[in-house]
Amino acid sequence: MSDAIEIPEALQQLVDRSNLIGDDMSLVVYGGGNTSSKGEVKDHLGRLQEVMWVKGSGADMRGSILSDYPGLRLSELLALRNMDELTDEQMTDFVTRALMDPSARRPSIETLLHAFLPFKHIDHVHADAICALTNHADGKRITAEALGEGFAYVDWMRPGFELSKIVGDLANYDGVVLAHHGLVNWAEDSDACLARTREIVAKAQNFVSEYKIPAGPPARHDDLDDDEIRTLLLRLRGSVSREQRRIVRVDDRLRHVADHPQLDAIVAGSVSSADHMLRIKPLSLALSDQAREQENGIREAVDTYRAGYDTYVERNLDLMPEGFSGHDSHPRVVMVPGLGAITTGINQAEAKVAADIALHTHTVAATVLDTFGPPEPLAEAETFRFDYWPMELYKLSLKPAPKEFAGRVVAVTGAGSGIGRGIAMHLAANGASLVLADLDIDSLEGVGAEITGAGGAEPRLVGGDQSDPLVVSSTIQCAIDSFGGIDGIVPNAGIGVPGNLDDLTLEQWELGLRVNLTSAFLLTQEAIRAFKIQGIGGAIAYVASKNAFGPGAGFGAYSASKAGMIQLMRIAAIEGGKFGIRANAVNPDAVFDNSKLWEGGVREERAAAHGIAPDELEDFYAARNLLNRRVTTVDVASSVAFLLSEKASRTTGCVITVDGGVSAAFPR
């Protein structure tokens, strides 16, 4: 049995310290900052090597693990200090060659800053309080007043070889403050390093709070009501999703900033730490009341923002790295008085990241404004050089490619079992943000747990009767409240209604129509209203049935309701076309897995109608179709996903049969 691998003490201390720092978002947010420790370890040949472990590029301190901190031969890093200059690419190449494990994670761009400082443990944090000291015209004086003359102050300089050499020469100070960047602190003991980091930041926080002259809270903007918010979300989502669908998310934690009387000045202050622009762009959009209240005001505000970003790119094209082009120009953060912030992303998690960063970056700018005067952004050229810095953009390349339905919002009814469950699982696996509805809330919760257990985004669940207009309205409202809008609906709620026409009661007949058809009409109606406000089209995929074209005796109420659904689909396609709304249907047959359609005596009744035993029914249906195949929920889900996707962007008014081939039910 092989011996367990011994973890160097300095490395374990680094991971533990970094996780504590990462848990405090006033120190670092999402991949920001970096930490290091130095120690000794034997290499693959048993030679004792002096090593520095440093946070890897793109790693997040919060929840970080050992592999997030690659080890490097310190002697090879120190040898680079004698160089006069190194480009980013040259520096990265040299640093990578110093890795103890060539397959390890790429080290931080600030690796040499840590290496050139002769201390065992180093923290570099982008603390809000430190940025509040520096991000204005009098930053150097205020920082000295707050922390004392023992701290060196370095004006903004993009991370790299030159900054590393400058900071390396400041080891005789108590620490280094980097303007628009944060704090570099060190100690010979890991616990002492963390304690000093916290102590210095607390000192800055106390200085800012005591320096500030209490002016009282700004006048509170009137709250927006629910209908105003939903209309705002739909219009905004339509405006920022024209190239790629995006989730939009409200965050009221930024209400105090959004309501600030000098919101425009706060937003103009840009990001508090340059790395924030990687995820929220250099500037946010401050939405005026006038833009919000006018029908086309939000789209015009977004268009103005986009034009401004495109112009900024054009002004700085001479600084654009070779092989790069302009980012998409949509805002990532929109500040809305009376509400807070609305942030965007391809899913809720990404939009939450943007909100967390915006909370810190704009709170810093508001603090600076109220304490020291207008926040001062980086010069535009420096902003652009960071905005399009390959070393920083490398972090984004580590993210997995978006899935097909990333950013898309779909509501599925009857999602607690059978076909609806299969569709929900399939769409979730492909990145969709889902609202799932069913009368059986327990089954619905089970599906939700399955989705999250498989790594999908947590769906929103709506329990209730989908033939109730209030429940249907709440389903679409849930999509808007949770994700900012709606891209597709799958009317699938249904029940089987067996019985010959002369035996059916009026109650049975009306129940079949209400559950199978009226529910689909109500959902269609609510979705179309939302699609129109949103202004980027939409897709409806009705789950009808083979019985719509090929009915059978003893199942008339069900067959009539599904035939009505096909006609509803056609009308939706006709009326919705000019708004970019597509409507199509799938006609499945004999889908049994996880289905409740066959409960309540339906299986037995259908088996009796065909003169077979109930347990022979699935094989009977498979044998009667042209392909002699059983039809599964996965088969239906794949066809529904196609109709909801961009692959079917030129398809509307269509019926796809998913029945194994029943000639009597061919569409015609």
Domains 9-211 and 226-397 alike in fold: yes
Q: What is the pLDDT of residue 1?
A: 35
Cα separation, 186 vs 121, in Å, equals 6
Catalytic residue selected from 69, 305, 309, 558: 558
Mean pLDDT value of segment 172-196: 97
- Type of residue at 223: D
Please provide residue 611's backbone torsions phi and psi, each rounded to the nearest 5 degrees: 70, 35
Please state the length of the chain: 668
pLDDT > 70 fraction of the chain, expressed in percent and rounded: 97
CATH label, 226-397, candidates 3.40.225, 3.30.1760, 3.10.100, 1.20.1080: 3.40.225
Q: What is the pLDDT of residues 371-424, one digit of tens each?
A: 999 999 999 999 999 999 988 888 777 778 899 999 999 999 999 999 999 999
**3-state SS, residue 291:** helix
Active site residue 211: no
The domain segmentation of the chain, as residue ranges, is 9-211, 226-397, 409-597+630-658
In DSSP terms, 183 is beta-bridged to 125, 177
Cα separation, 68 vs 101, in Å, equals 13
Q: What is the pLDDT of residues 596-618, one digit of tens each?
A: 666 766 777 777 777 877 777 77
Cα separation, 133 vs 204, in Å, equals 7
Per-residue tokens: 274: 């340059």
Cα separation, 85 vs 94, in Å, equals 13
Pseudo-torsion of CA 87, 89, 94, 96, nearest 10°?
150
Beta strand pairing status for 460-463 and 433-438? Answer: parallel
**pLDDT at residue 353 tops 70:** yes
Are the CB atoms for 594 and 649 separated by under 8 Å? no
Q: What is the pLDDT of residues 244-294, one digit of tens each?
A: 999 999 999 999 999 999 999 999 999 999 999 999 999 999 999 999 999
DSSP 219-277: PPPPPPPHHHHHHHHHHHHHHH-SSS--EEEEEGGGHHHHT-TTHHHHHHT--SSGGGH
Residue 519, number of CB atoms within 10 A of its CB: 27
Element (H, E) at 342: strand 340-345
As assigned by CATH, the class of the 9-211 domain is alpha beta
Q: What is the pLDDT of residue 2?
A: 42
Q: What is the mean pLDDT of the chain?
A: 93
Q: How far is CA 579 from CA 297, 411, 535, 566, 575, in A?
A: 19, 19, 7, 20, 8
**pLDDT at residue 467 tops 70:** yes
What is the CA angle 151-152-156, rounded to 5? Answer: 130
- Answer whether CATH 3.40.50.720 is correct for domain 409-597+630-658: yes
Cα separation, 525 vs 100, in Å, equals 62
**pLDDT at residue 450 tops 80:** yes
CA nearest 581: which of 656, 488, 518? 488
Exposed, middle or buried, 451 (CB in 10 Å: 0-12/13-18/19+)? buried
DSSP-derived secondary structure letter, 614 = G
